[in-house]
Structure 1
Amino acid sequence: MKGQEWYQTDEVAEEYDAKRFSRGGRLIDGREKRAVLDALSPLDGKRVLEIACGTGRFTVMLAERGADIVGLDISEEMLQQGREKAKTAGVSDHLQFMRGDAARLPFPDDHFDAVFAMRFFHLADTPASFLSEMCRVSKDQVFFDTFNSYSTRSIYNWALPMGSRLYAESEVLRLLHGAGLRLRREEHDFLLPYGFYRAIPNSVAEPFRDVDRSLGDSTVGQRLSSVSYWDATVK
């Protein structure tokens, strides 16, 4: 798994949210949270597992909306940030954070109503095995995102500290089929790469985002989008 040691340092865990979701990165945070809510709602009483939950920005959000949720991550340092978020939000007793390996999930078959992972598959060295594990412990829904091969991210991917695994749509569809999942819905977004938005103030990012959405609605824009959201159901 790419970056496994990097994510387990105190410094990275403490600065993770501030570096990625401040300035124009707030637009990314909002879009990702909307994608998760659109896919998993209604949440009240739903049993949910988040893979690679990191600092808990989704885990806490879903707990606030009534989900019975477990957040799993390999990094104890990231999990500690999540616990602090849960305490601040007053939902510490409504969720559980666990340290664990996504390749060997410590849960029985069909244990959750839904399993999801955000910002995970671009680091996966064996995506098929991870997706199969997610499918195994879910009795209904699996949701995740990928970064795309035919996007602006491919131009500078080599320069990123860990790089990213980029996916073509055909590869994702093969992975879904191999895991025993049926695609229910897909969305594609962000012609401009995430790094661009994080580099500029939020007030400047908003007009660019408006143009991004308009161009992204076209057929060409959909194909060149940086990120895709995949909502699948267990066959």
Structure 2
Amino acid sequence: MKGQEWYQADDVAEEYDDKRFSQGGQLIDRREKRAVLEAIEPLEDRRVLEIACGTGRFTTMIADRGADVVGLDISAAMLQQGREKARAAGVSDRLEFLRGDAGRLPFPDDHFDTVIAMRFFHLADDPEAFLSEMRRVSSDQIVFDTFNRYSARSVYNWALPMGSRLYSKSEVSVLLAKTDLTLVDVEDDFIVPYGLYRSIPNVLASSIRSVDRVIGRSTVGDHLASVSYWDTRVR
């Protein structure tokens, strides 16, 4: 997986949330959380695994809504941030953080109802293998996001620290077919790429986001969106 050493650095973990989800990045955080909740609720007593859970943005939220959650990440520093976040939210009893490799999940077949992976597949060197492993441990649902090849993100992708894997809709469709997953829904969003939102104040980001939504609802919106949220079911 791309960027393993970078993500495991202590200083990256300490600054991760502030750099990505402060200022205009708060808009991204809210949208991603809404996409996840719309796909996986209701959550009461469901068993959920999050791949590449990082600092626990989603795991803490999901546990707070009644699920039993496991967050898995390769970074010990990120996991420590997640544990502190879970304690502060009072959900440590419903949430376990494990260090592990997403390519070799330490769980039996069909162990979870739902498996999610946000901000993960753009770093995957072998997306089919990772998705197959997620499919193995899920009895019902897999939710993930991708950055889109034909979008504004492709313009600056080369400048990112480890780059990103960008996907076309047809490529993801092939991945789903190969891993025996059925598409339930896909939502496309953010004509303006994430990087711009993160770098500007909330007031300005909110104005740009309003225009972004209008374009996104137009006939060209699906073709220009930089992000897609995929909700799939196990066949």
TM-score by length of 1: 0.99
Matched, 1:27 2:27: yes
Matched, 1:221 2:221: yes
Corresponding residue number in structure 2 for 1:150: 150
Per-residue CA deviation, residues 161-209 of structure 1 (Å, 9 max, x unaligned), is 1100000000000001101100000000000010110111001111110
**Equivalent residue runs for 1:131-210 within 5 Å:** 131-210=131-210
Give, as a single letter, the amino acid of the residue that structure 2 aligns with 1:158: W
- 1:50 aligned counterpart, secondary structure: strand
Give, as a single letter, the amino acid of the residue that structure 1 aligns with 2:47: R
Distance (whole Å) between structure 1 residues aligned to residue 221 and residue 91 of structure 2: 39
Offset, 1:130 = 0.2
Per-residue CA deviation, residues 126-183 of structure 1 (Å, 9 max, x unaligned), is 0000000011100000000000000000000001111000000000000011011000
Give, as a single letter, the amino acid of the residue that structure 1 aligns with 2:98: M
Distance (whole Å) between structure 2 residues aligned to residue 217 and residue 142 of structure 1: 26
Distance (whole Å) between structure 2 residues aligned to residue 3 and residue 57 of structure 1: 20
Offset, 1:94 = 1.1
What is the percentage of aligned positions where both structures have the same residue? Answer: 71
Distance (whole Å) between structure 1 residues aligned to residue 101 and residue 179 of structure 2: 18
Give, as a single letter, the amino acid of the residue that structure 2 aligns with 1:136: R
Offset, 1:219 = 2.3
Distance (whole Å) between structure 1 residues aligned to residue 229 and residue 125 of structure 2: 19
Offset, 1:97 = 0.2
Corresponding residue number in structure 2 for 1:66: 66
Distance (whole Å) between structure 2 residues aligned to residue 33 and residue 197 of structure 1: 16
- Displaced runs of 4+ in structure 1, greater than 2 A? none
Distance (whole Å) between structure 1 residues aligned to residue 113 and residue 101 of structure 2: 20
Distance (whole Å) between structure 1 residues aligned to residue 219 and residue 83 of structure 2: 42
Give, as a single letter, the amino acid of the residue that structure 1 aligns with 2:109: D
Give, as a single letter, the amino acid of the residue that structure 2 aligns with 1:52: A
Per-residue CA deviation, residues 96-128 of structure 1 (Å, 9 max, x unaligned), is 000010000011111100001000000000000
Distance (whole Å) between structure 2 residues aligned to residue 24 and residue 116 of structure 1: 24
Corresponding residue number in structure 1 for 2:102: 102
- 1:5 aligned counterpart, secondary structure: helix
Distance (whole Å) between structure 1 residues aligned to residue 124 and residue 100 of structure 2: 15
Give, as a single letter, the amino acid of the residue that structure 2 aligns with 1:146: T
Distance (whole Å) between structure 1 residues aligned to residue 234 and residue 101 of structure 2: 22
Unaligned runs of 5+ in 1: none
- 1:186 aligned counterpart, secondary structure: strand
Distance (whole Å) between structure 2 residues aligned to residue 94 and residue 144 of structure 1: 22
**Equivalent residue runs for 1:82-93 within 5 Å:** 82-93=82-93
Distance (whole Å) between structure 1 residues aligned to residue 101 and residue 78 of structure 2: 14
Corresponding residue number in structure 1 for 2:77: 77
Unaligned runs of 5+ in 2: none
